[in-house]
Each structure stands twice: as structure tokens, then as C-alpha cells.
Amino acid sequence: MTRAPENRDAFSVLDRPNSYIGKTVPRPNLDRLMQGRGQYVSDIELPRMAHVVFLRSPHAHARITGIDGAAAKRMPGVIAVVTGQEIAAVITPWVGVLSHLKGLKSAPQSAIAVDRVCWQGEAVAAIIATSRAAAEDAAEHVAVAYEELDAVTDMQTALDPTTSVIHPALGDNLAFERNHDAGTVDAAFAASDEVVEAEFIFGRHTGVTLEPRSVVADWNAAEARLTIYQGTQAPHMVQNIAALHLGLQESQVRVVCKDVGGSFGIKVHIYADEMATYALSKLLRRPVKFVADRVESFNTDIHARDHRCKGKIGVKRDGTITAFEIDDLTGIGPYSMYPRTSAIEANQVVNLVGGPYATKNYRARARVVFQNKNVMCQYRAVGHPIACSVTESLVDLAAMKIGMDPVEIRRRNLIADDAYPCASPSGLRFEQLSHHAALAKLIKMMDYDALRAEQATLRARNIHRGIGIASFIEVTNPSAAFYGVGGAKISSQDGVALRLDAQGAVVCQTSITEQGQGSESLTAQIVGSVLGVSMDRVRVILGDTDNTPYGGGTWASRGAGIGGEAALQATKVLRRNILDVAAAILQSTPGELDIINNSVVNVSDGAPRIELSELARIVYFRPDTLPPGIQAELMATRHFVPREYPFAFTNGVQASWLEVDTDTGFVKLLKHWVVEDCGTIINPQLVDEQIRGGVVQGLGAALFEKCVYDERGQLTNANMADYLVPMSGEMPDIDVGHVVSPTLESELGAKGAGEAGTAGAAAAVTNAVNDALRPFRTIVTEIPLTPQIILTALGRI
Amino acid sequence: MTPVPISLEVNGERVEAHVLPRLNLADFLREHLKLTGTHVGCEHGVCGACTVRFNGEIARSCLILAVQAQEGSVETIEGLSDSGEIADLQAAFRDRNSLQCGFCTPAMLMVAQDLLKQTPVPDREEIREHLSGNYCRCTGYQAIVDAIETTARLRAERAP
């Protein structure tokens, strides 16, 4: 690891003997998942549980003129058929706007459509039965009469005066627009030796979590309490929203989240069908389970990306980048999602374009329009792949224009590693990044010069390989600046509560959640290291609003950086409390004692004085033997939220090495490299696997994944056979390296790493394809890079 | 629709049940026998998450009707775990962090064991090929390939 300059004290609570920080240790929760003993929501069964199936609109836009559920209600096992109007009696509609996204507008959305459907897949009725199969049988007998309306599907014409307005009360189809102008863009372009422009197209794709969205809602009328079992990234957010719209207090709602079969941002939102399930449980006074089938997943899990972005870059002959300009357009479906809104991605694109580079001249416009397609919202690496691809493609096109090597142009323009703290032209504040150290490490890892030589040799044999480089920045550890300031009740702080139990083991309750990233492991590693106990003595409890502190959860690469720091601070307090009692028992002083390897020891000679189990025994069962006035507190709670920087930016660089078959248009990925800087690394293996998994999701977007809609707003590939994702046979091995620039905002120093891979993968691949196609004097600017797009660029079809 | 009687062996135990002819084996295992380690990801035979061993061969339990399992033998992840047959493979997955959310993992282990029985020391290409019918959205596959490669090597070293 290359360690970037830092000014931390040599002594750290993390460098203690037997520390787990920076060490690869296996996650404690893997055995149950590997033995089929996990508990995903789809596994949950409760007494008297009913199953709901939603009848969904076949039309992209239509008026509902009648719903007849009488025949369905007579079907075997059917408990109820509920329409949007009926469910409105127990749940209120919502509007997905935030006040800090100025001008963002949306229309009220209901749990089940009332009078009108706005996308193919919107629920029009709920059928509740004793089994899912019985409910599906009955759904076929619900008769819905529709009057089809014009469907707005093409985002490019959504704002035309001749296009119908989806929500007439809003006046037009523009949900949000942001303009930004920094420096002297026009003058910079005028002073450039070359100006390059291109239009970049990003397909609409989705998360395809292997476990579909699932929820079991259990309204106990006798307790007046709703328990929601849901695979969510943000249990307290779900608690707040469910209570708000069902007319309950938060104390009446408990959200339990055990194992989650993939999330990636898909499961951080509030979906209409989930809200309907909560409401149905209240209406029917019994547990109701909803498990989406795969067609529903494709039609209703949020989609992402779907941008058309015009980009422009100015460059001087010496390689100096003079300015960036973009004009981005994205279509978000008929509603801005709730409560995080669908304007964040475009907003991020404006924030992030040009982010790694030193130029101060930057102009951007982003427009977000409504369409009659499925809703769109935040998915892993929100906005980053768009911003990174536009920026990095423009940088490569500029390099090509002036005949400069892609690595060299980056060396000349990336913000210098000693220039921090500094700010980007879009106003982002960077504490400490390491673009140059990362690039240097990447070049070495991939042996860049040797690859260039190999490329040249193979080109002579008509084999077309390409190298693509992409530098990136990543938003992590978001403060309240992300959602809280806009009025959303989404916590940006997290809490950890620790308790030493009566046998000297630690019970740790944290508000961050686990969807496979390793939240449980990293929390136990921090607690074990800072306290001085072995990890197997730390039991981590998460995903239960009744049994954890209040907090944000796991999203936006925040779990380790924010939840990890809360764990560190709580552990310091518990350690102090333990040493206070130990000093009283041992007739010593806290300063003379330490905890190492599950025992209180002398600082002076390391000699064990008392095992924690013995200390706990005395405190809990023989407090009478403690000196007078000593009241032990073997429990400690701390919370943390970043205050100094709105976001802890990380940085990194990726490289792709691939081969393009110019006859078939197929791309074969040969190798992928990533160097990234997420600050303090708690568990190197977990970080690397987050990066690798993120890269592969980015590679999916680059090569395969696209929700294909026809002009009437019908999703034509809503199944796993037609919607392609990366499979093992097509994926390359991915080498991961690190530079370490800890954030000084926390004692832990950790930033996030969950989205870095996804941020830059597609950009690296696109640049590599264009590098491979260089002899053909053509470029591609659209992903996914299907054979059709490549063969079209080559003029072969 | 009338339930029909079926009789089969599941993880070595005799199971008698009455099922609707349309019930698939995955739902039978999960809903009737509560063997929820067999996961349902797509219900149309693509994702591979519901892979079980049926009469000794790996198969997608969402594409088999429960009635087709009449007089057959089904082994699920619970069976393979309890028998210890794949304990080394599971240990390699744990050490290599070859799973994140874990939803695909029971099936991945099934498929990996199937490969290692057919091809004791496969190369990485063969491993990737054999896994190519199973979706994993979290790991990017490399850690899974690594764990299978390690298990193959360790088994070969142990072999007499």
C-alpha cells in the first residue's frame, strides 16, 4: 500500500496489540448464508399470513374507467380485492420532492393507482389470498377497463409544446433543471487549440437484485403496532415513512431487516407496492406478504441512468485542459421517487463532471423530464458512471486530437496530490485526494508500456486490443447535506450501543445495516480492536428499529465511515468505563491498566490482572464487593456524523484491457485494474471485494444491461433471459490496489468504497474500445456497447 | 385441481406429501418442507439460485414439478451442509469472502461441487464456464472462482 502524507499522531486507538484493523478476517455471518440458514424476507412465514399479488397496468398511460373484482373475490382462497380508492382510506399519497433541489416538482403518488396509470407495471388492484398462487389465479379474473392515453416515452421530445403533459397540474414535463457556470468558459474555449464535442448516450438499466423486493407487514390491532419485515438498506427511514402515511407514531412501527438478497440502491427507496402492503395489513388486521416476481422486478424496481449528455472539452497543444461543458438530459418516469427524489442523479452529474481535473472553467445544464416509463432513482454510484464516462471520454478525445498519450494528458491535468484541501468548479470540497499516486500505481500494476507494445504487435496481425483509463472521484460518508437539509427524514448520523455482558462478551447494536458488504464484520473488528477483545466475543445486532440506535443505514458508501466511527467512539467509552471499574477492583488507577486479549492488564509489564468475564461477574452479581460509591456502567453509546465536510470524497483510477472482434462486434474483456483510495482500510479483503463487485456492475452497464422500451412505453425485455447481466464466463479477473489517505474528520479515517468500482468501469471500457478502434477512425459514445453499436460505428451494418 | 400424492427422498429422508400438479419443486421444498436454503430468484430457469441435486445431477428446481420428483432423490444445501460433503468448499468460500448477500451462494456451492466431482482440478476458464448458468450480482465472480480453485487444489493434495 502507498500511504499518502498524513499528519496523524503516531499513537492511535487503531494500532493496539491484536488489532483487527487493516486485517483480512472472515465475516462472522457467512456460515448461516452458506448453509442455507439465512433468513431473507422471502423465507418469513407468520401465523395467519396472507399473500398479496398486484394486478398491474398493461398500458404506459391510461385512464382507469372501471375495476370489477367480483369474480376474483369468489375464487378459492381469496380474502380481498382492494383498489386504489379503497386503500386510500388507510394510507395517504406522497410527493417526491426535496427543498434543496430548487424547483424540483412531482405529482402525488398513491399506493395503488387511482383513476389513472402512468407506467406499464403500476399497480391497479391488490388481490389478497391464502397463497400467492391463489392470489395470482384470482388476479386474472379482475376486470379493469382502461381508456388509453398518449404515452410520453422519448425524453428528447418530452418538453416539446406538442407533447402531452403527464401531470397537467405541473404545467409541463420538466421535473428539475439545474444550471451551473464557473470560471470563464467561453473565453477558455476561445483560447483553446482544440475543442472537441460529442454526445454520450447511457442506457436505462436496473439493479436485478437476486432476491426480488419482498416485505411482510404485520399489523397487530391489539397492540396498535405494525411490524415490517423488509429487505431495506434504511430501516429507520422506512419506519418514519410508514408511520407518516399510515397516520401512526414512529413508536408504533418496527422495521426488522435480517438477510437481504442484494440491494445496490434498489432497496433504499419507498415503493408504492410496499406501502400498499403495509396498508393492507392494517386494513385486513393480519400479516400480509408481498414478494415481487421477476417481471414485476423489471417493471417496478427503480431503473437508473438513461441519460443523453452533450459534452465539450477545450485543450491546448501542451495538453492543458481549459474547460468542460455539458448539457445533460434524463428521463425519470412519471413520478420523482420518494423520499430521495429522482433529481439526485442529474444533480450528481453536474457536481461530478470534470471533478478529478484542475481546470476551473465548467458550465453545465441538466434537465430531468417525466415520462410514462418505470420510475427512476438512485442506484449504486448515482450519477458517477455518467459523469465519469463523459469526462473521461472527453479527456481521451482531447488527447487523441492533440496526439497525446491518455496517461500523459491525465498526468498534466489531474489535481496535484499536494493541492488539498481544495474545491472543484462545481463547489465540491476535497479534503485529501491522491490522483497522481493512484495513477502511478495503476500504470505499474498493469505494466502500461508492455501492454502498449503488445497492442502494437497484435494490431499488425489484425487483432484489435485497447487500453482504457478512467480517473474518478466518489461521494462517500454523506452528511445531512445529501437529504436532511432538503427536509427528508433520512438520518445522516449513525449510532452504536455497546454492552459488556455477564460473561465478558460484548453485545453491539448498530444502526448501519448489512446487505453483504461486511457491516457486521467491520463493526466487530473495530469494537474488538479498540476494546482489546477477540472478535468472537463481539456479537453485532443490526437491522431492527426496536433494537438499534437511530441512524441512516447502509447506502451512499457510508457504513464503514460513519457507522464505523460511531463504533470506535462507543468502544472508547466502554473501555474507559471498564477500566474505571477494574481500577476500583484492583486498587489501581485507570491509567495504569489496559485491556488486551480479553483481560485487564498492567500497562507497565502487560501482566494480566483480571479477565473481563471475572470483572463482569463481580459487577453484575457481586456489586456489594465494589468500593462504596462505585456504580459500574458497562454500557456505552455514541453517535457520529461528519460535520466539517458535506461528503468525504474518495478517488481512484481504473484501467480496462480488452479485445474487439471487428467482424462480430463482440468485446472480450481481458483484464481490469483498479487503484482506489478509501482512507483507512478496515478489512482489505472486504474492500477489494466491494470494488470488484462494483466494477462488474459497471461492466454490466458498459456491455450488456439495458431496459428496452418500445415507443408505446412497453418494456420489451422484462425477464432474465432477455435482459443480460454479467456472467462468470465473460468477466475478467480484476486486480485492486490502494492508496491510503485517511479522512481527518474521524478518528477511524475511513471513507467509503462501495461505489468506486461502478463509478469508473464503464468509462474505462468505453475508452478501451475507442482505443482498439483507433485504426478505423471511428468512436463509440453509447453504452451498453452491444455488437450492433460497434458494428454500426465500424460501418459494417 | 386436486392434490396428488407424491413420495420421494429429500436429503436422505422419506417424504410423503399431497401436492397440486402445478407446484414446482422449488416451492415444494420451500413452502411444504421449509427448506428455505433453496432460493427463488427468477422462477423461469435463468438465474440458477434454485439449483438442487436431483437424482445425483444438478437441476433447477423451479423448472421441475414436484410430481416429477416422484420416487426421486433430492438433495438441497441443507443436506449437503449437514452431511459435511462440502465443508471444505464452504470453508474456502468463507476464507475468500466468496459471497456477499449470500442469496446465490447455496446454488453456487451446489454447482461448484458438481464441477469438482466431474473435473477434480479444473482451470479457471473451466470454473467460469461451469458457473456460467448462475447469477451473482454482488461479487463479480472472481472470489468464487478463487475459492473453487483453492478447494480443488487442496482436495488434490489430500488425495492418496
Q: What are the pLDDT digits (tens) for B40-64? A: 999 999 999 999 999 999 999 999 9
Other C-beta atoms lying within 10 Å of the C-beta of residue A684: 14
* Closest residue to B101, CB basis, from A262, A729, A733: A262
Residue of chain A minimizing CA distance to B138: A693
pLDDT given at position B160: 74
Provide the mean pLDDT of chain A: 96
pLDDT given at position A13: 79
Q: Which grid cell is A219?
A: 399489523
Starting at the earlier edge strand, list the strands of the sheet with A362-369: A174-182, A362-369, A321-331, A303-315, A194-206, A782-783
Q: What are the helix (H) ranges across A301-362? A: 344-352
In angstroms, the separation between the Cα of residue B160 and the nearest Cα of chain A is: 28
Task: Report whether pLDDT(A296) > 50.
Answer: yes
Q: Does A501 touch chain B (CB under 8 A)?
A: no
For the stretch A51-99, pLDDT in tens is 999 999 999 999 999 999 999 999 999 999 999 999 999 999 999 999 9
Report the phi/psi class of residue A173: left, alpha or beta, with left for phi > 0 and alpha for psi in -120 to 50.
alpha
pLDDT given at position A48: 97
Kindly list the residues from chain A whose CB atom is less than 8 angstroms away from the CB atom of residue B41: 210-212, 261, 294, 720
For the stretch B66-84, pLDDT in tens is 999 999 999 999 999 999 9
**What is the distance of C-alpha A310 from the center of its chain?**
26
In angstroms, the separation between the Cα of residue B2 and the nearest Cα of chain A is: 13
- Asked whether the beta carbons of residue B42 and residue A30 sit closer than 8 angstroms, the reply is no
* Closest residue to B102, CB basis, from A38, A293, A697: A38
Measured CA distances, B118 to A150, A191, B14, B111, B155 (Å): 57, 66, 28, 11, 13
Residue A9: pLDDT band (50, 70, 90) is very low
Backbone angles phi, psi at A542, to 5 degrees: -145, 170
pLDDT given at position A551: 96
Residues forming a β-bridge with A216: A229, A289
Beta-carbon contacts below 8 Å between A and B: 174
Residues A690 and A652 sit within 8 Å (Cβ to Cβ): no
3-state secondary structure of A55: strand
- Please list, residue by residue across A15-45, b when 16 or more beta carbons sit within 10 angstroms of its beta carbon and e when fewer do: ebeebbbbeebbbbbbbebbbbbbebbbbbe
Residues A20 and A575 sit within 8 Å (Cβ to Cβ): no
Please tell me what DSSP assigns to residue B30: I
- A671, HSE (Cβ side, Cα atoms, 13 Å): 13
* Closest residue to B94, CB basis, from A30, A686, A692: A30
Task: Report whether pLDDT(A11) > 70.
Answer: no
- Please list, residue by residue across A729-765, b when 16 or more beta carbons sit within 10 angstroms of its beta carbon and e when fewer do: ebbbbbbbbbbbbbbbbbbbbbbbbbbbbbbbbbbbb
Residue A7: pLDDT band (50, 70, 90) is very low
ipTM: 0.98
3-state secondary structure of A563: helix
Kindly list the residues from chain A whose CB atom is less than 8 angstroms away from the CB atom of residue B141: 696, 726-728, 731
Residue A173 burial (10 A CB sphere; 0-12, 13-18, 19+): buried
- Asked whether the beta carbons of residue A733 and residue B142 sit closer than 8 angstroms, the reply is yes
- Asked whether the beta carbons of residue A726 and residue B100 sit closer than 8 angstroms, the reply is no
For the ranges A401-405, A481-485, B151-155, the lowest mean pLDDT is seen at A481-485
Q: Which grid cell is A231?
A: 429487505
* Closest residue to A33, CB basis, from B47, B105, B142: B105
Residue A174 burial (10 A CB sphere; 0-12, 13-18, 19+): middle
Mean pLDDT of A617-621: 98
Mean pLDDT of B120-145: 98
Residue of chain A minimizing CA distance to B85: A35
Task: Report whether pLDDT(A446) > 50.
Answer: yes
- Asked whether the beta carbons of residue A689 and residue B134 sit closer than 8 angstroms, the reply is no
Interface of A with B in 233-272 (CB under 8 A): 259-264
pLDDT given at position A4: 45
Kindly list the residues from chain A whose CB atom is less than 8 angstroms away from the CB atom of residue B46: 719-721
For the stretch A697-726, pLDDT in tens is 999 999 999 999 999 999 999 999 999 999
Residue of chain B minimizing CA distance to A24: B95
3-state secondary structure of A750: strand
* Closest residue to B77, CB basis, from A31, A36, A261: A36
Q: B108-111: which pairs have CB atoms within 8 A and are 24 or more residues apart?
A: B108/B134, B108/B136, B108/B144, B109/A34, B109/B77, B109/B80, B110/B51, B110/B52, B110/B53, B110/B58, B110/B77, B110/B80, B111/B48, B111/B51, B111/B58
Residues A677 and A738 sit within 8 Å (Cβ to Cβ): yes
* Closest residue to A734, CB basis, from B41, B128, B142: B142
Residue of chain B minimizing CA distance to A206: B137
Residues A97 and A104 sit within 8 Å (Cβ to Cβ): yes
State pTM to two decimals: 0.97
Task: Report whether pLDDT(A569) > 90.
Answer: yes
Mean pLDDT of A406-425: 98
- Asked whether the beta carbons of residue A731 and residue B39 sit closer than 8 angstroms, the reply is no
pLDDT given at position A212: 97
Q: Which grid cell is A273?
A: 407496492
Mean pLDDT of A626-650: 96
Kindly list the residues from chain B whose CB atom is less than 8 angstroms away from the CB atom of residue A689: 97, 100, 139-140, 143
- Asked whether the beta carbons of residue A689 and residue B128 sit closer than 8 angstroms, the reply is no
Mean pLDDT of B97-114: 98
Starting at the earlier edge strand, list the strands of the sheet with A599-602: A593-596, A599-602, A608-611
Nearest Cα neighbor of A796 from A778, A781, A774 is A778
Percentage of chain A with pLDDT > 90? 97
Kindly list the residues from chain A whose CB atom is less than 8 angstroms away from the CB atom of residue B140: 689, 692-697, 726, 731, 734, 757
Mean pLDDT of A636-644: 96
- Asked whether the beta carbons of residue A210 and residue B128 sit closer than 8 angstroms, the reply is no
Task: Report whether pLDDT(A5) > 70.
Answer: no
Kindly list the residues from chain A whose CB atom is less than 8 angstroms away from the CB atom of residue B127: 728
Q: Does A724 touch chain B (CB under 8 A)?
A: no
Contacts of B127 (CB under 8 A, 6+ apart): A728, B112, B115, B145, B148, B149
Mean pLDDT of A162-185: 98
Contacts of A639 (CB under 8 A, 6+ apart): A493, A494, A495, A496, A549, A551, A566
Mean pLDDT of A128-145: 98
Kindly list the residues from chain B whose CB atom is less than 8 angstroms away from the CB atom of residue A211: 39, 41, 101, 103
Task: Report whether pLDDT(A2) > 90.
Answer: no
Kindly list the residues from chain B whose CB atom is less than 8 angstroms away from the CB atom of residue A210: 39, 41, 47, 49, 101, 103-104, 135-137
Residue A15: pLDDT band (50, 70, 90) is confident
Task: Report whether pLDDT(A180) > 50.
Answer: yes
pLDDT given at position A456: 98
Residue among B31, B81, B104, B141 with most chain A CBs within 10 A, to mutate: B141
Look at strands A599-602 and A116-117 and give their pairing: unpaired
Residues A786 and A665 sit within 8 Å (Cβ to Cβ): yes
Mean pLDDT of A776-789: 98
